[in-house]
Chain A
Amino acid sequence: MKRLFAVVPLAVAVVLGGFFLWGLNPERDPSEIPSVLISQPAPEFDLPSVPGVDVPGLGRADLTDNPGPVVVNVFASWCVPCKAEHAVLTRFVERHGLRLFGINYKDEPEDAATWLSDLGNPYERIGSDLSGRAGIEWGISGVPETFIVGRDGTVLYRYVGPIVGEKAVAKFTTALTQAGALERELGS
C-alpha cells in the first residue's frame, strides 16, 4: 500500500510529461483562437432595436446584399474596454466610411441608450441581444468582439477583444483593407 502511494507522484509526472511533449508541437499556436465561423455564412439571428435608440434592429437579412463588407461589433455598456474601443470604431466610421453594425450584448436598454447618447452612436443598426442568444450563435467568447462580414453575408474575419492600442488597430486595419471595407483608405 505504502509502496503504491510512493509511485503516485511519478505516475502523475509521467502523464503530465506526455501532455507537455504533445504541447511542444511547433505547429501549435496556443494564442490562436479558432473561429468556426470564418468563411461560413453569418449565423441566423434577428434582433429588435434597442428601445430609446433611434437606429433599427439587426438581423441576418441585413448582412446580405450589402454593396461592400460591413463590420459587426458586439458591445455592452457594462464592458469597460468597449468604451475605449468605441472611440477607435467611431474614428473608422467618421474618417474612413466604415459601415458599422452593433449587437448590444446582455445589456439593459436604458443603460445602452445612455451610453450611446453620452459617447455618440457610430452604429448604423443595433440589435438588442438581451438573452445573449445571438451571442451564442456568433460563438463569441467575450465582449467586445468584432467581425468583418463580406457583402454576401460570409464571415471574413474575427477579432477577439478590444481594438485598442497601436498593434490592435494596425491588425484590424489590415484586415479591413484586405476585405475592402474601407471607403477611404487610411492616410487619405
Chain B
Amino acid sequence: MIPEIGHFALALALSLAVIQSVLPILGASRGNVRWMQSARSSAIGQVFFVGVAFAALMRSFVVSDFTVRNVAENSHSMKPLLFKIAGTWGSHEGSLLLWVLILTVFGAGVAVLGSNIPAATKARTLSVQAWISVGFLSFLLFTSNPFDRVFPPPADGSDLNPLLQDVGLAMHPPLLYFGYVGFSIVFSFAVAGLIEGRIDAAWARWVRPWTLAAWMSLTAGIALGSWWAYYELGWGGWWFWDPVENVSFMPWLLGTALLHSAIVTEKRDAFKSWTILLAILTFSLSLLGTFIVRSGLLTSVHAFAVDPERGIYILGLLALSIGGSLALYAWRAPVMEGGGLFRPISREAGLLVNNLILAAATGTVLFGTLYPLLLEALTGDKISVGPPFFNAAFVPMMLVLGLFMGAGPFLSWKRADLAGVLQRIRFVAGLAVLVTLAVWYLISGGPFLAYVSILIAVWLLLATLREWALRIKFMEAPLSETLRRARNLPRASHGMTLAHVGLAVAMIGMIGSSAWKSEEIVFVTPGTDVTIAGFDVTFTGAERLRGPNYIADRGRLEVRRDGEPVTTLYPERRSYPVAPSTTTESAIRSTLAGDLYASISEPASEEAASGEAWTLRILYEPLVNFIWLGALMLVAGGALSLSDRRLRVGVPRRTRPQSDLRLPAE
C-alpha cells in the first residue's frame, strides 16, 4: 500500500509541475498576479508530494519490503540500517527520485525565501524550474518507476553493491546532487532573465545565494567522493580522471567561473551575457553528467545499469533544455547592453582572466572525457584518455590560475594602480620563493613541476593572507583598530580569503601526495618486514572475522619508526556472499604530515589456501589530508560568504544597494 501512495504522490507532483510550467509564466506576460502567485503553492506542493514519494521508498528500504523490485534488487535484510536508508539512493531509480526531490526543494526554496525578487521574474523562474520538473518526473514515472512491484517476492534481497556500503558514500550522492541539481535554479533564473530581456545587478544578486549554496554542496560532494575513493577502493589515489568524476568536476569548474563572473555583473553591471551563458552551461554540464552516468555512453568504473531506452529519453530532455536555452541565448543575448568599462589592469580584468582559464579548463576536461566517443564515431578506433592527458593539459592551467588568483584581490575595480599593487605583493612573492627554495633544500629529488607548483601554492597562500591583513590593517594599526576593521569587513570578504586559502592548502596536499608518494607492493607471510618512508612495517598474520553481512580476512601490521612502536594497522578484505563480491578495507594511519596506507588483496600464491601469504600494498602519501582540509575551508568560505548580510535570503532589498561598493570578489 505504501509504495502505491509513493507512486500516486509522484503522479500528483507531475500534474502540479505541468500546471506550474504554464500558469505563472502566462500570468507574468499578461500581468495576472493570481496566476503568478500560484507558483508558490504549486512549488510547495511539488516538494511535498515528491517528499512523500521519497519517504515511501525509504520506508520500503528500511522495512525490507522485497515486494518492491527496487528494494529486492538493491537491499538485503541483513544490511545495517544506515545502508538500508542509503540504499534508497543507491540505484538508478532511487537516485533519480533524490535528484527530482532536490530539484523541487530548490524550486520551493525560491518560492518561499525569494521575497526580494520581483513577482514577474519569480513567476518566470519557477515556471522554467517546473519545465525541468516535468521532464524528470515523467522520465522517472515512465521509464524508471522506483515503486514497481515484483511477484512472487524473493525471500531476500540481492544486496547493495558492497563498495557502496560505506558511510562516506552514503552521504556522497545527496551532497553531490544538491550541488549539481542546485544549479538548476540558477539556470531557471538565467532563462527567465533571457525571456524577460532584463539582466542587471539586481538579477546577479538574487542568483548569488543559490549559486553559492549549490557550489558549496558540489565542493563538499566531490571532496567526499574523492575521499571515499581514497580509503575504500584501496588504490591509494584520490582522483583518477574517470568520466564519472569528470562529469561532476566540470559543473564545479564552470560554477566557480559563474560565481566570479556574477560578481562583476553585480558590482559593475558588466559581463552580463557571459554570466548568463555560464549559468546555462553549468547546469547543462550537470545534465550531461546525469546523461553520461545513466546511458552507458562511456566506460567508467562506476556507472548505473545501462538501458538504451533511458539514454534516448534523457538525450531528448537534454536536447530540449540545453538546445532550447542556448537557442534562446543566441536569440536574446546579443541585444543585452554591456555595462561599465574597465582598464586592462583592474579587478574586472582579473576576473576575466579567472573566467577564461576556468572555461578553458572545463573545455579541456570535456574534450578529454568525450574524445574516446568522438574518435570512435569518426574513425572507429577505441582509445581511452587517461591521467597523462589531463595532468599535462589541466595542471598547467591551474598553476597559471593560482598565479593570477594571488594577485587578483589586490586589484581595484575599473582601474588598478599597477605600481602600487606590485609594491604590495613584492614582499610575499619573495617570501614564496624563499619557502620554495627551503623546501627544495630539505627534500631534493622531486619533479621540477612539483617545485613550481609549491611556489605557486605558497604564493597563493601568502598573497591571500597579505591582502586580508592589509584590509584589516594587521600589525599596522593598534589591535583594537584591526579587530574593528575585521568586524566591519563584509563576511563575503572573509569568505573569499578563507576559500582562496583553502584552495592553496588543497593544492599543497595534491602536490605532496602526487610528487612524493612512496609505494611498495610485496608478498608477505607472517614475520615479513617492509620499510617505507622511514616506517618499519611487520606483517604478523591474518585472521578471519565475521561481520553482519560479510566475512573478512583481517591482516595485522605492526608499525615502528626508529624502533619505537607507532601503531598497529588492520587492513581487511571483505567478501560479501550475497552480492557476491569482495571489497578492500584499507587501514590508514592518518596524520597531518601524511598517511601510511595499507591494503591487502588476493592471497598471493599456493600458500593462499592455508591463508598464509598475502599481497600487501603499502603507500605513504605525504600531506594528503591537506586536500580535504582545503576542501573544508572552501566550503566554510562559501558558507561565510553566504551568511553575508546582503545575501541573506528573505531580507527585503536594501534601498541603497551601491553603499558597499568596495566589496571584494569572493
Residues of A at the B interface (CB closer than 8 Å) are: 2-3, 6-7, 9-10, 13-14, 16-17, 19-26, 30-34, 80, 83-84, 87-88, 90-91, 94, 164-166
B284 at the interface (CB under 8 A from A): yes
> Do B323 and A17 touch across chains, with their CB atoms under 8 A apart?
yes
> Do A13 and B601 touch across chains, with their CB atoms under 8 A apart?
no
Q: In the assembly, what is the distance between CA of A177 and CA of B95, in Å?
A: 41
Residues of B at the A interface (CB closer than 8 Å) are: 273, 277, 280-281, 284, 291, 295-299, 308, 311-312, 315, 318-319, 322-323, 326-327, 329-331, 333-334, 370, 372-374, 376-377, 382, 519, 521, 523, 582, 601-602, 604-606, 615
Q: In the assembly, what is the distance between CA of A39 and CA of B337, in Å?
A: 65
A26: B residues at CB distance < 8 A: 308
| Nearest-Cβ distance from residue A161 to partner chain B, whole angstroms | 12
Question: Which residue on B lies nearest to A3, using beta carbons?
Answer: B334
Q: In the assembly, what is the distance between CA of A152 and CA of B665, in Å?
A: 72
Q: Which of B277, B521, B615 contacts A9 (CB 8 A)?
A: B277
Q: Which of A17, A34, A94 contacts B318 (CB 8 A)?
A: A17
A16: B residues at CB distance < 8 A: 370
| Nearest-Cβ distance from residue B451 to partner chain A, whole angstroms | 25
> Do A19 and B602 touch across chains, with their CB atoms under 8 A apart?
no
- A31-B299, A90-B606 are known; give 13 further A-B pairs, CB within 8 A: A6-B329, A6-B333, A6-B334, A9-B277, A9-B280, A9-B329, A17-B319, A20-B297, A24-B308, A24-B315, A84-B602, A84-B615, A87-B523
| Nearest-Cβ distance from residue B474 to partner chain A, whole angstroms | 44
B333: A residues at CB distance < 8 A: 6
- Is chain B's binding surface mostly helix, strand, loop or mixed? helix
Q: Which of A22, A34, A91 contacts B606 (CB 8 A)?
A: A91
Indicate whether A19 sits within 8 Å of B377 (C-beta atoms), given known contacts A2-B334, A24-B308, A84-B602.
yes
Question: Which residue on A lies nearest to B603, using beta carbons?
Answer: A87
> Do A10 and B521 touch across chains, with their CB atoms under 8 A apart?
no
Question: Which residue on B lies nearest to A120, using beta carbons?
Answer: B605
> Do B315 and A33 touch across chains, with their CB atoms under 8 A apart?
no
Question: Which residue on A lies nearest to B386, using beta carbons?
Answer: A142
Question: Which residue on B lies nearest to A118, using beta carbons?
Answer: B523
> Do A19 and B374 touch across chains, with their CB atoms under 8 A apart?
yes
21 pairs of residues in contact across A and B, judged by CB atoms under 8 Å: A6-B329, A6-B333, A9-B329, A10-B326, A10-B329, A13-B323, A13-B326, A17-B315, A19-B374, A19-B377, A20-B291, A23-B295, A24-B308, A30-B372, A33-B382, A80-B519, A80-B521, A84-B602, A87-B604, A90-B606, A91-B605
Q: In the assembly, what is the distance between CA of A80 and CA of B606, in Å?
A: 20
> Do A165 and B602 touch across chains, with their CB atoms under 8 A apart?
yes
> Do A13 and B322 touch across chains, with their CB atoms under 8 A apart?
yes
| Nearest-Cβ distance from residue A95 to partner chain B, whole angstroms | 8
| Nearest-Cβ distance from residue A37 to partner chain B, whole angstroms | 15
Q: In the assembly, what is the distance between CA of A166 and CA of B334, in Å?
A: 59
> Do B370 and A6 touch across chains, with their CB atoms under 8 A apart?
no
Question: Which residue on B lies nearest to A16, using beta carbons?
Answer: B370
A94: B residues at CB distance < 8 A: 606
| Nearest-Cβ distance from residue A65 to partner chain B, whole angstroms | 32
Question: Which residue on B lies nearest to A5, using beta carbons?
Answer: B334
A84: B residues at CB distance < 8 A: 521, 601-602, 604, 615
> Do A21 and B298 touch across chains, with their CB atoms under 8 A apart?
no
Indicate whether A19 sits within 8 Å of B370 (C-beta atoms), given known contacts A9-B326, A10-B327, A165-B602.
yes
- Closest 6 A/B residue pairs (Cβ): A10-B326, A26-B308, A31-B299, A7-B330, A87-B605, A6-B330
